[in-house]
Amino acid sequence: MATKKPFVKIQCQECKRVNYFTHKSKKMAEEKLGLNKFCKWCRRHTLHKEGKK
Ligand SMILES: [Zn+2]
């Protein structure tokens, strides 16, 4: 279905909160491995990973 865009949640691995949403793309495939992003809940940079559906 072309109308259904897959998007993924980017989840903080410290507090398990979802901080970011991103559309899934081939360019972002490497993000599955983990990202250092700022978590507003932890108030620091933490490891973020793609959340499961
Ligand atoms: Zn966090």
pLDDT tens string, the chain, 53 residues long: the values are 566 777 888 999 999 999 999 887 666 555 567 889 999 999 999 999 988 76
CA of 9 to the centre of ligand 1 (A): 13
Find where tokens 């620091």 sit: 44
CA of 4 to the centre of ligand 1 (A): 29
pTM (two decimals): 0.70
Instruction: Tell me the CA end-to-end span of the chain in Å, nearest whole number.
Output: 18
CB 21 within 8 A of CB 8: yes
CA of 36 to the centre of ligand 1 (A): 11
CA of 26 to the centre of ligand 1 (A): 26
CB 35 within 8 A of CB 10: yes
**Dihedral in degrees, nearest 10, Cα atoms 10, 16, 19, 20:** 10
pLDDT of residue 28: 55
Q: Kind of pairing, strands 18-23 and 35-39?
A: unpaired
